[in-house]
A and B are shown apart, each in its own frame.
Chain A
Amino acid sequence: MLLEVRDLHVEFRTRDGIANAVNGVSYTVDEGETLAVLGESGSGKSVTAQAIMGILDIPPGKITGGEILFQGTDLLKLKEDGRRKIRGAKMAMIFQDALSSLNPVLSVGAQIGELFTVHKGMSRKDAKAKAVELMDRVRIPAAKERVGQYPHQFSGGMRQRIMIAMALALEPDLIIADEPTTALDVTVQAQVMELLAELQRELRMGLILITHDLGVVADVADKIAVMYAGRIVETAPVHEIYKAPAHPYTKGLLESIPRLDQKGQELYAIKGLPPNLMHIPPGCAFNPRCPMAQDVCRADVPPLFEVSPTRRSACYFWKETLDG
C-alpha cells in the first residue's frame, strides 16, 4: 500500500465558528493506481489533499484526528523537516491554476531546476540541463530555447505542462493532481490528461485525481471516492459506479448529466444546495436533498456499508439505490 488515509478529520476555526471540512475520510492508493476523488466545492476533497501534502494552512486549519500512512510512516507524526524531505521528492502536487502557482519573476527553467539544487544538491548548470530534459519529456516544443522564458510567455496548456514537469522532476511515488485541467479548454485538456496518464504508467506512480468532472473520471480513473460534506459517501471501481451507483448523491450527479435521449426534457436536478460546513445536518449530511430520506437518515450518521468486497456506500438504503 502506497498511501493510506485513516479517519482524517480537519476543521477550520473562523470568526463565525468552526467549519468541519473533513469528517472522517479514509482511502487508499496503490502503486500505479489512479484514485479519482469526486466532489463539489466544499466537499473537502482539496483539504484532504492538502493535509496529505502537508500544505494545509494551520491555523486556521487544524487536523483533529486520523492518520496518513505513506509507505508505512504516519506523516502526521513527522516534524516539518521530515515532511519537507518527502514533499516534492516522494510526493508531488499539481495545482489547478498554473499561472498563480508559478513564480512570475523566475524563469521556468530556474523553477524546475530549483528542485534539483535543493533536493539533490546539483549545480545550477546541471539543474538547468535537467530542466530542459524534463520540458522535453512533457513535450514543450523548443525546450532548449524556452527554458529561460517566464510563465507569462507560455499558454495555459504549456504552463500546466510545466507544472507536471515540476511534479515529476524527482520521480515521486505519488502525485496529487487537484483539478489539473479545470482551467483548460477541452482540446488542451485532452492533451494534458493523455500526457499525465502516459507518464504515470511509465513511472508507475500512484495518482490522486481531484475533480468534479464525471467525464474526466470515467476516462482515467481505476477507482473513485465520492465526497460530500467532508465525508466519503461511496467508493467503488470506476466501471461499477457508472453502471449502478449505490448512493443517491452519486446517482443524482450521474443523472444530472445531459444525455442524448433526454433532449427537450427537463434535466434531473438534485434539489437544494450543498450544506454549510458550519451547520452540517444531523444524520446523513445529504438527507435534506435526498429523495429516499427516512427518519433513520435524519437521526444517525450512516457508516460505510460493504456493498461488495471492493465497494462501500454510506447509505442506509444502498440496496434500494443499487436496484433502481
Chain B
Amino acid sequence: MADLAKEAHAAAPVPAGEPILEVSGLVKHYPLTQGILFKKQVGAVKAVDGVDFVLGQGETLGIVGESGCGKSTVARMLVNLERPTAGQIKYRGEDITKLSGRALKAVRRNIQMVFQDPYTSLNPRMTVGDIIGEPYEIHPEVAPKGDRRRKVQDLLDVVGLNPEYINRYPHQFSGGQRQRIGIARGLALRPEIIVADEPVSALDVSVQAQVINLLDSLQNEFDLSYVFIAHDLSIVRHISDRVGVMYLGRIVEIGTDEQIYEHPTHPYTQALLSAVPVPDPEARDHRERIILTGDVPSPANIPSGCRFRTRCWKAQERCALEVPALAVPAVFRIGDTPAKHDSACHFAEEKRVVPTE
C-alpha cells in the first residue's frame, strides 16, 4: 500500500493550490432534428450552456444541482466521454478538447471517473481483477504484465477490500463494496484528478459514510484533486473546499463551502438550501422555507435573460432582458464580506437559510 502511494504521477507535480484544471465557456448542445432522410436541425437541448470554473491542485470542488442541470454532462466532458460543442478544458495549461490520438490518451490517464451506479458500471462477466486491471491494458506503460496482479491486489487493499477477492465477480459484492471496486478502477492509473459523479447516491445511509471516508483518506494519500458531483447538499459540504451551484446548464453561484452555505446570495441557492430537510425535528417549526413554484424549464427552451426567472420570487423586467454574469455582485464588491463571491443575479442579497447549530 505504501509503495503504491509513493509511485510518481505521470508528470511533475503541480504545487498545491495552483490550478490543475481550468474550464471556460464550456458548452454542450445536443441537436434536435426533424425529418428522416434530410435531417434538419430544429433546435438544441442546451445541456451545458457556458460553464467556467477552476480546480486547484489537491482541492475538492463540489458541484450541486437538480436533475437535468447539466452537472453529469460536465463530468463526462471533463473525462472526454463527450466532446464539448464549444469552450475549453485546460489541464495543466493545455486545452484537452483539441487533443486527439496519443496526446489525448496520455491526458486521459490523469483524469479518471467514478460512476454513480455501482450496479451498472461494472461488467458482470468480468472478474474484479479484470475490471480493476483493464486500465493497464489500455495504458500498458503504467504496469508491465507480470506486475499487474500484484498491483490490483494492492488497489483492493487500499480501498478496503480483501485482496483475495480478486477472482470474484461483481454480483458477489454489495453496493458499497462495488463502489469501492469502481474507486479502485479509477485509481489504477494513478490519476491526478478524479471526477466522481454521484458516487454515494445509490448507497444505503449507513454505507455512504464509509465511502465518503474512503474518498477523503485517498485524497490525502494519493494527492488527488476531486470534482465531486452530487445532489445531496450535506455530503457535498462535508467533502468540498469550494462548491458550485448549477441551474439549467450554468453555474449560478460559486464560492467556498462557507460562502455558499452560510452566505448564499443567489435566490436559487437559497431555495435549494432551504428545501433540504434538516434531520432535527426541533427545527420544524421555526425555519423559513422557500418553496419554489413550478418545475425546471426544458433545456431545449431556455428562458431569456436569467434562466431562473420563471421560478424566482424576485424576478423583474430586467431579469428577462439581461443575462446576469457570474461575478461578484456590485453591492458586495466593496469591503471584505463572505458574501463577496461569484453569483449570477441582478438582485443578489444575502439571506441565511441554513439553521445555525
Contact A218 B279 (CB under 8 A): yes
* Chain A window 174-201, contacts with chain B (Cβ cutoff 8 Å), 1 for yes, 0 for no: 0000000000011111110110000000
Instruction: Chain B residues near A185: list those with CB within 8 A.
Output: 66-67, 231, 296
The reply on B44 being an interface residue by CB < 8 A is no
Contact B207 A273 (CB under 8 A): yes
Instruction: Chain B residues near A157: list those with CB within 8 A.
Output: 295
B277 touches which of A219, A238, A259, A262 (Cβ 8 Å): A219
The reply on A71 being an interface residue by CB < 8 A is no
The reply on A99 being an interface residue by CB < 8 A is no
Beyond A185-B66, A190-B291, is A267–B280 a contact (Cβ under 8 Å)? no
Q: Smallest Cβ distance from B205 to chain A, in angstroms?
A: 6
Contact A273 B281 (CB under 8 A): no
Contact A258 B205 (CB under 8 A): no
Q: Smallest Cβ distance from B277 to chain A, in angstroms?
A: 3
B283 touches which of A187, A218, A259 (Cβ 8 Å): A218
The A-contacting residues of B in range 63-111, CB under 8 angstroms, are 66-67
Contact A256 B295 (CB under 8 A): no
The reply on A101 being an interface residue by CB < 8 A is no
Name the segment of B137-145, B148-156, B185-193, B208-216 touching the other chain: B208-216
Contact A212 B277 (CB under 8 A): no
Interface of chain B, helix or strand or loop or mixed? helix
Beyond A188-B295, A273-B176, is A261–B213 a contact (Cβ under 8 Å)? no
Instruction: Chain A residues near B216: list those with CB within 8 A.
Output: 266
Beyond A186-B231, A190-B289, is A261–B271 a contact (Cβ under 8 Å)? no
A185 to B217, CA, bound (A): 29
Instruction: Chain A residues near B289: list those with CB within 8 A.
Output: 190, 194
Contact A219 B278 (CB under 8 A): yes
Contact B280 A186 (CB under 8 A): no
The reply on A274 being an interface residue by CB < 8 A is yes
A271 to B275, CA, bound (A): 30
The reply on A143 being an interface residue by CB < 8 A is no
**Number of residues of chain B lying within 8 A (CB) of chain A:** 44
Instruction: Chain B residues near A262: list those with CB within 8 A.
Output: 238
Nearest-CB residue, chain B, relative to A221? B281
The reply on B233 being an interface residue by CB < 8 A is yes
The reply on B206 being an interface residue by CB < 8 A is yes
The reply on B167 being an interface residue by CB < 8 A is no
Instruction: Chain B residues near A61: list those with CB within 8 A.
Output: none
Beyond A186-B233, A212-B204, A239-B282, is A155–B295 a contact (Cβ under 8 Å)? yes
A285 to B281, CA, bound (A): 28
Contact B277 A256 (CB under 8 A): no
* Chain B window 243-258, contacts with chain A (Cβ cutoff 8 Å), 1 for yes, 0 for no: 0000000000000010
Q: Smallest Cβ distance from B80 to chain A, in angstroms?
A: 28
Instruction: Chain B residues near A187: list those with CB within 8 A.
Output: 66, 271-272, 275, 291-292
Q: Smallest Cβ distance from B328 to chain A, in angstroms?
A: 24
The reply on B235 being an interface residue by CB < 8 A is yes
Nearest-CB residue, chain A, relative to B177? A273
Contact A267 B213 (CB under 8 A): yes
Instruction: Chain B residues near A260: list those with CB within 8 A.
Output: 237, 357
Q: Smallest Cβ distance from B234 to chain A, in angstroms?
A: 5
The reply on B14 being an interface residue by CB < 8 A is no
The reply on A269 being an interface residue by CB < 8 A is yes
The reply on A213 being an interface residue by CB < 8 A is yes
Contact B205 A191 (CB under 8 A): no
Contact A263 B237 (CB under 8 A): yes
Contact B176 A191 (CB under 8 A): no
Q: Smallest Cβ distance from A230 to chain B, in angstroms?
A: 15
Contact A242 B280 (CB under 8 A): yes
* Chain A window 233-272, contacts with chain B (Cβ cutoff 8 Å), 1 for yes, 0 for no: 0000011001000000000111011111111001111110
Beyond A185-B231, A186-B66, A187-B66, is A267–B209 a contact (Cβ under 8 Å)? yes
Contact B279 A214 (CB under 8 A): yes
Could you show 5 A-B contacts with beta carbons less than 8 Å apart?
A185-B67, A215-B279, A218-B284, A269-B207, A269-B210
A interface, CB within 8 angstroms of B? 40-41, 141, 155-158, 185-191, 193-194, 212-219, 221, 238-239, 242, 252-254, 256-263, 266-271, 273-274
B interface, CB within 8 angstroms of A? 66-67, 174, 176-177, 204-210, 212-213, 216-217, 231, 233-235, 237-238, 257, 271-272, 274-284, 289, 291-296, 357
5 interchain residue pairs of minimum CB distance? A215-B277, A258-B238, A185-B66, A269-B209, A256-B209
| Further 17 A-B residue pairs, CB within 8 A, beyond A189-B275, A269-B209, A273-B174 | A40-B204, A185-B67, A185-B296, A187-B291, A190-B292, A194-B289, A212-B205, A214-B205, A215-B278, A218-B277, A218-B284, A219-B284, A257-B205, A258-B237, A260-B357, A262-B238, A266-B217
